[in-house]
């Protein structure tokens, strides 16, 4: 296999590795997105539950007030019965005052109960709106979660195809070159092979020496950028539009 073909294989290998890294990053983003979706639903559910608790509290308060009013009413009835048996005007006046106070208290508690009823209605409406929002969130979440399952399957399928292509490309270059490629890739942020265009290495954006540019045009050797050490090639030399005259 000619060096030009080896360079071509390295070029494609690099492309496959970039795609594999993308697929991996996308696949890794899935669990994060899943947590976000679940957290979003949890927030909506919490808001709905908090409002339910608030309504329960209001209802409890209302029942307690109603019990107080009922008890006071019984007391007033009993006292009114006793009024007839009272002999002294002083006692009569005292009990009448007690009855009066109890009645007023009942009236004011009754007013508070009415306010609570209005409040309970407001909270019930708010619960309805929150319930609607929660339902929307839940169905939206379910849809997206199902989509994520499909995407995960798609990523896995793509990774299998890319790895197969990678294994095939790896057979086209000798182990020593492959090892060199892997070492540079590890040290250089995943990019081991890069183009030279306009006399500039696209890996580090530095000019390459003119002498090296001449060598690269021949595509007859594997060269490294003197600055970033990546394997460099001139695209039109590696993949000429028309085959060069041999």
Summarize as ranges the residues that interact with Zn ion (CB under 5 A): 201, 203-204, 225, 227-228
Q: State which residue, 228 or 234, has the beta carbon closest to Zn ion.
A: 228
> Rounded to the nearest whole angstrom, what is the least distance from the CB of residue 192 to Zn ion in the complex?
11
Q: State which residue, 8 or 203, has the beta carbon closest to Zn ion.
A: 203
Which residues have C-beta within 8 Å of that of residue 108, sequence separation ≥ 6?
A: none
Q: State which residue, 9 or 196, has the beta carbon closest to Zn ion.
A: 196
**CA-based diameter of the chain, in Å?**
137
For residues 145 and 228, give the distance between their C-alpha atoms in angstroms, rounded to a whole number.
43
> Rounded to the nearest whole angstrom, what is the least distance from the CB of residue 236 to Zn ion in the complex?
18
Cβ-contact 116, 62 below 8 angstroms = yes
H or E segment at 231? strand 231-233
> Rounded to the nearest whole angstrom, what is the least distance from the CB of residue 229 to Zn ion in the complex?
7
What is the Cα 108 distance to its own chain's centre? Answer: 51
> Rounded to the nearest whole angstrom, what is the least distance from the CB of residue 177 to Zn ion in the complex?
18
Give SS3 for 205. Answer: coil
> Rounded to the nearest whole angstrom, what is the least distance from the CB of residue 203 to Zn ion in the complex?
4
Q: Which of 224, 226, 221 is nearest to 207 (CA)?
A: 226
- Both structure tokens of 192: 């081991």
Q: State which residue, 16 or 228, has the beta carbon closest to Zn ion.
A: 228
Q: State which residue, 51 or 223, has the beta carbon closest to Zn ion.
A: 223
């Amino acid at each position: 296999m000619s060096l030009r073909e080896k360079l071509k294989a390295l070029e494609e290998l690099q492309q496959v590795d970039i795609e594999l890294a993308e697929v991996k990053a996308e696949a890794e983003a899935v669990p994060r997105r899943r947590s976000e979706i679940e957290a979003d639903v949890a927030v909506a559910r919490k808001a709905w539950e908090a409002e339910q608790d608030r309504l329960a509290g209001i209802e409890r308060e209302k029942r307690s007030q109603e019990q107080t009013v009922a008890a006071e009413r019984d007391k007033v009835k009993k006292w009114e019965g006793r009024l007839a048996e009272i002999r002294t005007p002083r006692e009569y006046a005292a009990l009448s005052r007690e009855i009066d106070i109890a009645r007023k208290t009942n009236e004011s508690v009754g007013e508070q109960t009415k306010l609570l009823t209005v409040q309970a209605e407001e909270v019930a409406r708010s619960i309805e709106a929150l319930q609607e929002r929660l339902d929307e969130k839940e169905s939206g979440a379910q849809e997206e979660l199902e989509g994520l399952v499909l995407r995960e399957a798609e990523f896995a399928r793509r990774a299998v195809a890319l790895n197969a292509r990678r294994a095939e490309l790896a057979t086209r270059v000798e182990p020593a070159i492959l090892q060199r490629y892997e070492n540079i890739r590890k040290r250089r942020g995943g990019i081991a092979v890069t183009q030279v265009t306009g006399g500039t290495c696209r890996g580090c954006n530095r000019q390459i020496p003119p002498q090296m540019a001449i060598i690269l045009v021949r595509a007859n050797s594997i060269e490294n950028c003197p600055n970033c050490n990546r394997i460099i090639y001139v695209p039109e030399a590696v993949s000429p539009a028309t085959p060069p005259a041999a």
